[in-house]
Structure 1
Amino acid sequence: MKISDSDLIINPDGSIYHLNLLPGDVAETVITVGDPDRVGEVSKYFDSIEFEKGKREFITHTGYVGKKRITVLSTGIGTDNIDIVFNELDVLVNVDFESREVKKELTSLNIIRVGTSGAVQKDIPMGTILASSHGLGMDALMNYYVHELSNDEQVLMDEIKIHFGNLENINPYLTAASETLLNTIGKDLPKGITITAPGFYAPQGRIVRAKNAVPNFISLINSFHSNQYRITNLEMETAGIYALAKILGHQALSINAILASRVNFEFSKEPNKIVEQAIKMVLERI
């Protein structure tokens, strides 16, 4: 079935609408970062850079580490941007732009997020590099997609719904990390459930001037336990990445540089150093 011009917008130069990338520009291994300035902090470790492109907050560098072709791409902040980035990455590798039809043979990308996050457990110190075993979304993105859970995901989701049952108008969703990437890139890292919030302040339990509708949010989330699983950290993209990757048939892993302790009310004095450690670790393991 041909995809309509309004559903799949292609720029006059043949590039995809927001990312400004052409089919063939994307490597099968993709690193995503939130901050556009962080793209160069990743690609500076490349042995060679094939090209650099940018549009809006979406900056892309594709190059090589040894013989490994890698794309690093900035997503900006939030799952609304993840919706754009992941759908457009997928069509770049799985849709024929000439015929506007889905290809018969699909490509599964390996997508690794390297991002910043705040810990919600006292035993996770600042400077920790943590792999997300699951993404737990508190945003509304998955209300618009058919999102099927595995048996293990459903069991964990049922317990989460009971724990968060008093939260009105919030419909959480859950997706596990790619088992392959978790066991390779994340193999010896501390792991936990990462909550993805739809904002930085009250949605993450911060109190500045506006009154929070969910009191004691941090205590609520760090008190959840289910067998070996607990909620370890908060950020703004992981759940959307995991859910859309699963829906579209890609492998995804979120690597979190812990810059803040939400329970100890501390923020790192060396955030760039922690992020650089995470970047170097991911590139070495890729």
Structure 2
Amino acid sequence: MPIKESELILNPDGSVYHLNLRPEDIANTIITVGDPDRVDTVTKHFDTVEFSTHKREFHTQTGTYKGKKITVISTGIGTDNIDIVFNELDALVNIDLEKREIKSELTSLDIIRIGTSGSIQKEIPLNSFVISEYAAGFDSLLHFYDSEHVQYFEISEALKKQTNWFNKKSDPYVVKCSERLLKKLSSNKTINGFTATNVGFYGPQGRILRLAIQDKNLNDKLANFNFKDKNITNLEMETAGIYGISNLLGHHSLSMNAIIANRATGEFSEDPKTIVENLITYTLNKIIDKD
């Protein structure tokens, strides 16, 4: 049965509603960034840029880097945007948009996030690269899907217990990256981490300006969390949503984090643009590396 027009919304030119993309516009390897302006920061390294479009916070360019076709797309901030971007990217490769039917043969995308993050562990220094092996989502996104088979309940239960999790907050979920991409992009320049994905930048990450927060010790509790020698290493706002939706849809995803702040020491990078630039070039070169 065809998917209803209200469920899969297409623009008059046949492109998916929010991203303004058609199937031929994207590669099977995709880099996501939060900031629309960061798309140009990535694609300036490309040999060619063959396609570009920009709608709302979703800026997309597709081109080649040392002969490999890659798409770079901005998601904006937060897992609500991840829900839009990843469902629409999947629709481009796995739904026949003219017939509005799921294809019999499905395509698996490689999706790599390049983003900034703050460490909550003193020993993870500024300007380092953290790869999110696991991610804990403090939003509710994954609970709206049939997702229990991709969650690590033993870890999330330990997290709630060790932090004395406030029961009016969203129930944390824990998901994992693609093992294949983890192996491909890891090196002696990277640190394997366990990332907490927050629902905001200020209160949800323990920042206090004028508003009091429910648990002023939460960051310390997260930093002290331990499950079979796994510690939460850093905070950001997209990774758990990326891993959750990717796992459900059968795509491979990995989150690369440039550590520009250390919340434990109160430090902030003196040159965040350079560390992000270094992470971009590192990631591009690892993508084209022959295994």
Residue 177 of structure 1 corresponds to which residue in structure 2? 177
Q: Which amino acid is 1:48 matched to?
A: T
Structure 2 vs 1, CA of residues 187 and 149 (structure 1 numbering), >3 Å: closer, same or farther?
A: farther
Residue 93 of structure 1 corresponds to which residue in structure 2? 93
- 5+ residue gaps, structure 2, are none
Alignment deviations for residues 113-137 of structure 1 (CA, whole Å, 9 cap, x no partner) = 0000000000011101110011100
**CA drift at 1:8:** 0.2
**CA drift at 1:267:** 1.0
Q: Which segments of structure 1 move beyond 6 Å, counting only runs of 4 or more?
A: none
Residue 268 of structure 1 corresponds to which residue in structure 2? 269
Residue 240 of structure 1 corresponds to which residue in structure 2? 241
Residue 43 of structure 2 corresponds to which residue in structure 1? 43
Q: How do residues 114-129 of structure 1 correspond to structure 2 at under 5 angstroms?
A: 114-129=114-129
Q: How do residues 11-22 of structure 1 correspond to structure 2 at under 5 angstroms?
A: 11-22=11-22
Q: How do residues 51-62 of structure 1 correspond to structure 2 at under 5 angstroms?
A: 51-62=51-62
Q: Which amino acid is 2:143 matched to?
A: N
Aligned equivalents of 1:163 and 1:141: distance in 2?
23
The TM-score with structure 1 as length reference comes to 0.97
Identity of aligned residues (%): 51
- Contact 2:150/2:248, CA 8 A, preserved across alignment: no
Aligned equivalents of 1:158 and 1:239: distance in 2?
16
**CA drift at 1:150:** 5.3
Q: Which amino acid is 1:203 matched to?
A: P
Residue 282 of structure 1 corresponds to which residue in structure 2? 283
**CA drift at 1:243:** 0.2
Q: How do residues 1-286 of structure 1 correspond to structure 2 at under 5 angstroms?
A: 1-149=1-149, 153-170=152-169, 171-188=171-188, 189-286=190-287
- Contact 2:61/2:73, CA 8 A, preserved across alignment: yes
**CA drift at 1:282:** 0.4
Aligned equivalents of 1:142 and 1:105: distance in 2?
25
Aligned equivalents of 2:253 and 2:163: distance in 1?
26
**CA drift at 1:40:** 0.3
SS of equivalent residue, structure 2 residue 24? coil
Aligned equivalents of 2:103 and 2:232: distance in 1?
38
Aligned equivalents of 1:246 and 1:162: distance in 2?
26
- Contact 1:149/1:175, CA 8 A, preserved across alignment: no
The TM-score with structure 2 as length reference comes to 0.95
Aligned equivalents of 1:164 and 1:68: distance in 2?
44
**CA drift at 1:23:** 1.1
- Contact 2:163/2:225, CA 8 A, preserved across alignment: no
> Which deviates the most, 56-65 or 155-164?
155-164
Aligned equivalents of 1:203 and 1:3: distance in 2?
37
- 5+ residue gaps, structure 1, are none
Aligned equivalents of 1:219 and 1:23: distance in 2?
45
SS of equivalent residue, structure 1 residue 190? strand
Aligned equivalents of 1:120 and 1:228: distance in 2?
16
**CA drift at 1:187:** 4.2
**CA drift at 1:178:** 0.4
Aligned equivalents of 1:75 and 1:53: distance in 2?
13
Alignment deviations for residues 159-201 of structure 1 (CA, whole Å, 9 cap, x no partner) = 2232234322220011001000011112442111100000000
